[in-house]
Chain A
Amino acid sequence: MTPQTRVLPDRLQSPAVRALRSWEAILVAVAIAVFVTNSFASPYFLNAWNLSDATFNFTEKALIAFAMALLIISGEIDLSVASIIALASTAMGVAMAAGAETPVLVLIGIGTGLLCGVINGALVAGLGLPSIVVTIGTMSLFRGIAYIVLGDKAFTGYPASFKFFGQGYVWWVFSFELALFAGMAVVYYLLLHRTSFGRAVFAIGNNATAAQFSGIRVARVRFILFLLTGVMSGIAAVCLTSRLGSTRPSIATGWELEVVTMVVLGGVSILGGSGSIPGVVLAALIMGMVTFGFGLLNVPGIVMSIFLGLLLIGVIALPRLLRRR
C-alpha cells in the first residue's frame, strides 16, 4: 500500500516461480517441524483417530481459503465469509424448523452462500466499490440478519441424515470433510494453475488495467470470484452446522481472520498477483496441526489466537526483513 512498492517493481525481476517454490519449501519444513515437535510434546498426537479429529480444525476454513486465495490473488478481499456461514446456517435452521429434508437443507445452505456471493460481487464488480468496505458492510449485514432471525435463541435438532457432512466418514479414519478438502484442493489447483481463468486471476491481480486492455473481462472474473467465495462459505456452513448440530447467530465468529491468515501464510501476496493453491494447502495443514498440538497441551484458545496473529505478521515481515539485509 505504500507507494514505493508500486513504483519499483523489482519483484518481477526474480523468477516468481522460484520464489514460490522456495516459500512452499519453507512451509513443508515448518509442517514437518510442527509434526515432529507435536509427536514429542504429547503422547496422544501420533494416533490415526486423533490426527483424523485434528483435521476438523482446518477443513472448513480451508474450503473457504481456496476461494479466498483466488480472490486475494486478484487483488480483492472478502471479510464477510464468516457472516455468510452464520446466515447460511440460519437459513438452514429456518428450513429445518419448517420440516425440510437433508437434500433441501444442503441446497439452501449452498444457495444462501451463492446469494451472498452475488450481492458482494454485484456491489464490487458491478458498481465498482472497494471490496474491503463493501465486505465489512455485508459482514455486519449478513450476521445482523442472522441475529434478527435468531436473537439469543438457537436452532437444534437437525435430521440424523444431515449429520454425515460434518461427522461422517468416507473410509476408515478419512472423514467426509477431509475428502471434500482434498477434492476441492485439486479442483482449485486445476482452476488456478491450469485454466485461462486462473491466468486471468493472476493478470488482474498484477495489473487490472492491462488485463482489461488484453481482453480479459475484469468485472466478470471478479464477480465470479465473489460468487465462488460465497458458494464455498455456503458449503463450509453445511459442514460446520452438521458437525455442531446447532445454529447460533455467533457461529464461526472471527473465522474471516483465520481464513485470511491461512491464505497469507500460504504465500499468497496480500497485494495480489501471486500465490498458489499448494501453499494454501500446506498452510491449512500447519495451522490445523498447531491448533491441535496446542489443544493437546491444554493451551487456551485465546493464546492460540495470539500465536496466529504473530504468525500472520511474522510470515509477511520475515521475508521483508531478510530482503533488506
Chain B
Amino acid sequence: MSLLKSREALLALAILVLIGVVAARFPAFVRPGNLANVFNDTSPLIILAIGQMIVILTKCIDLSVAANLALCGMVAALMNGAGVPLAVILPGVIVLGGALGAVNGVLVWKLGIPSIVVTLGTMTIFRGSIFLMTGGQWVNAHQMSEAFKALPRTVLLGLPVMSWMAIALIALFGVVLTRTALGRAFYAVGGNPHAAVYAGINVGRTQFAAFVISGALAGLAGYLWVARYAVAYVDIASGFELDVVAACVIGGVAIAGGAGTITGAVLGALFLGVIKNALPVVGISPFWQMAISGAAIVLAVAFNATQSRASGRIILKSAEAR
C-alpha cells in the first residue's frame, strides 16, 4: 500500500513539475482560472477513467467507452431535438450507457468471451448504430435547446457543473471502492479470481457490474461532451478509449487486474489533460499530443513493471498471469 501511495505521490509530483516548467515561461498558465479550465477540460476523461479503472481492476478492459459516449451523446441530442426535457434526458443517457455496458458485461459473464474481443466488436457496433440512427447527419448547436447546452457550463461556487460532476463521481467511487463489499469484490476478482470464488464472490457478476458502471459513466460523459461542444456526429471522441486506458496505466492501475486507486486514475487523466492544454501554450503543434501520450503509456507501464519487480512479488504475479 505504501508503494502505491508513493507512486501516486510521484505522479502528482510529475504533474506539478510539468505545470511548473510551463509556468516558468508562461505564468498565465498557473492562474487559478486557467487551472480550473484545465480540470474542466479533463473532466470527461476523468469520468471515463474511473469506469475504465474499475473494469481493469477485474482483469477486463473496455475499449467501447468512446463509442458508447458518442452513441449516448447522439441519443441525448436527438431526444433534445424531439423536445424531451433535460430531467428525462440525463437519467435516460445514464441508463442507456449502463445498458450498453451490460451488453458487454453479459457477453463476458455468461459466455466467457474475452473482454478485449467483446469490446472491440461492440465499439464498431455502437459507432455504426449512430450512423444507422442519423444517416451520418450532424446535430449542430442551433438544433439544441439553450437549457441542454447550458447545464455543463453553469458555474456553481466558481466551478462549472461538469467539473462538479467529475468531483462528485471521484468522491462517490472513492467510497464505493474502499468502503463497500462491491468495491472489495472488484479488487478480489482481479487480484486472485480463484481465491475470490472461494471467498464467495461471483467473478462473472462482479465483472458485469464493472461494465455496467463503465457504460453508465460513458453515457453521462456522452451528454456532457455533446452539450459542452454543442455538436453531435458519428465520430465524436473517436480514439478517446486509448486516452482513457492511457490515463489508467499512467495512474498505476495494473493491467493484470487487482491493483489501482481512484486517485491514481484521476492523476493519470490530469497528467494527460495538463499536457494537452500546455502544448498550445508552449507553442508545440497539437500533432505532438498523440506521440507524447503514447510514449507516456509505454514509460508508465515499464515503470510500473520495474516497481512491482523490486517488491519481489513478480514471480507469483507472472505465474498467475499465465
User: Which A positions have Cβ atoms within 8 angstroms of B?
Assistant: 1-5, 7, 75, 77, 123, 127-130, 132-134, 136-145, 147-148, 151-152, 207-209, 249, 257, 260-261, 264, 270-271, 300, 302-303, 305-306, 308-310, 312-313, 316-317, 320-321
Contact = CB atoms under 8 A, between A and B. Distances in A.
By Cβ-Cβ distance, the 7 closest A-B pairs, closest first, are A144-B291, A140-B294, A141-B294, A137-B297, A306-B128, A144-B290, A3-B193
Contact of B249 (A4, A133, A148): A133
Given A144-B295, A148-B287, A313-B122, 14 more contacts: A123-B302, A132-B61, A137-B301, A139-B294, A144-B291, A144-B293, A151-B287, A207-B322, A249-B287, A270-B116, A271-B114, A302-B127, A303-B128, A305-B127
A321 B136 CA distance: 35
Contact of A129 (B246, B288, B301): B301
Interface string B125-137: 1011101100010
B9 interface: no
7 contacts: A1-B108, A2-B108, A130-B256, A133-B297, A147-B290, A208-B322, A260-B120
Interface in B98-157: 107-108, 111-118, 120-125, 127-129, 131-132, 136
B119 to A, nearest CB: 10
Nearest to A321: B111
Nearest to A257: B120
Contacts of B197: 3
Given A3-B203, A127-B305, A306-B124, A148 B115 contact: no
B161 to A, nearest CB: 31
B5 interface: no
Nearest to A120: B298
Main secondary structure of the interface of B (DSSP, over half): helix
B287 A1 contact: no
- Give the bracket for the number of chain B residues in contact with chain A: 35 or more
Main secondary structure of the interface of A (DSSP, over half): helix
Contacts of A141: 290-291, 294-295, 297-298
A145 B305 contact: no
Interface of B: 59-61, 107-108, 111-118, 120-125, 127-129, 131-132, 136, 193-194, 196-197, 203-204, 207, 234, 242, 245-246, 249, 255-256, 285, 287-298, 301-302, 305, 318-319, 321-322
Contact of A123 (B249, B294, B298): B298
B246 A257 contact: no
A83 B108 CA distance: 28
Contacts of A249: 287
A94 to B, nearest CB: 15
Contacts of B203: 2-4
A306 B128 CA distance: 5
B242 A139 contact: yes
A2 B203 CA distance: 8
B59 A305 contact: no
A35 B305 CA distance: 49
A75 B107 CA distance: 21
Nearest to B117: A270
Contact of B112 (A4, A129, A137, A261): A4
Contacts of B132: 303, 306
